[in-house]
Amino acid sequence: MIKHHPDVTMLGKFVEGELPASIAAAIAVHVDMCPKCKAKCEALTEEQAELAFESVGTVATLKTASAKDVSYHEGSDISMVSASEDAMEAMISAITANDEIELAVESREESISVQGTKYKLPRALTNLAMGKWTSIGNLARARLALDEEPIRASLLQIQPGGSVPEHTHKGFELTLLLEGHFKDDMGEYGPGDFIMLDGTKTHSPITEDGCLCYTVANDAQHFTQGLNKLLNPIGSLIY
């Protein structure tokens, strides 16, 4: 069962399309796996639609009262929602077209093989270009091409019995567990768990059965153990 979820502020931004693509992808994967957050997103989308309809209603009233006045508000919300019926129709067909694309992606099975283990990638990640796998010890990483520097997104695999040395984060580190399990000082995690850490947290994840994670970070990890200089290659591997 999923125990760790994105907070409601983040879900709101996700629904509004305000998040960087790398973070939005993590939430999309989580929402597909988590009925609780799916319901929250649906409620947030409905709220937003209601707000949009309210503005359209206001515009309709304004238009009847004084059409010229409204047209002077260029660039404001009012001129944006006072789109003509033609534009509205074009928007609706664009949305329908997107649905078709999404269905096509859904039917595309994509599995990857990492160090001898096969994984099925979730739908939201299958259309991202992936770099080649690099490994150090029990860790293997492949970057995903999202072009959002300094934010970097990767797939990270930890082999059974492997761990990531204790570290903090200068920026943030988002981990979405796709398959397998791991635990750290703060808890135990399973598939679908969404873990967002900032620079105030230290942790050292360890896995018994091995795991595959989707990770997003905006700065190199900072290792807190004694031999941290030797661990730097791991920092750049994970970032």
Q: How far apart are CA 102 and CA 105, in angstroms?
A: 5
The residue (of 36 and 108) whose beta carbon lies closer to Zn ion is 36
40 binds Zn ion (CB under 5 A): no
Q: Does 152 bind Zn ion (CB under 5 A)?
A: no
* Beta carbon of residue 7, minimum distance to Zn ion (angstroms, whole number): 10
Under the binding rule (CB under 5 A), the answer on residue 34 touching Zn ion is yes
- Closer to Zn ion by CB, 214 or 223: give it: 214
Shortest gap between Cβ of 193 and Zn ion (angstroms)?
A: 9
Task: State yes or no: residue 4 binds Zn ion (CB under 5 A).
Answer: no
CB of 174 to Zn ion, least distance (A): 14
Comparing CA positions, the residue from 13, 47, 49, 50 lying closest to residue 28 is 13
Q: Decide: is 5 part of the binding site for Zn ion (CB under 5 A).
A: yes
| Closest by Cα among 192, 224, 185 to 211 | 192
Q: Which is nearer to Zn ion, 21 or 33 (CB)?
A: 33
Please spell the DSSP secondary structure of 140-172, one letter per residue. EEEEEEEEETTEEEEEEEE-TT-B---EEESS-
CB of residue 113 to Zn ion, shortest distance in Å: 28
When computed from its CA atoms, the radius of gyration of the chain, rounded to whole angstroms, is: 22
Task: Give all strands (DSSP E) within the chain, no chain letters.
Answer: 111-114, 117-120, 134-136, 139-148, 151-158, 167-169, 173-180, 182-184, 187-189, 194-197, 211-217, 221-223
Q: Does 174 bind Zn ion (CB under 5 A)?
A: no
Question: What does the alpha-carbon distance between residue 124 and residue 25 come to, in Å, rounded to a whole number?
Answer: 6
Tell me if 151 contacts Zn ion by CB under 5 A. no
9-28 footprint of Zn ion as x/- string (CB under 5 A)? --------------------
Hey, what are 225's tokens?
């153990």
Point out which span in 1-9, 83-91, 147-155, 227-235 binds Zn ion (CB under 5 A): 1-9
The number of angstroms, rounded, from the C-alpha of 121 to the middle of its chain's C-alpha atoms is 14
Q: Token pair of 209, please?
A: 């059965």
Residue choice 15, 25, 26, 37 for contact with Zn ion (CB under 5 A): 37
In the complex, which residues of this chain contact Zn ion (CB under 5 A)?
5, 34, 36-37
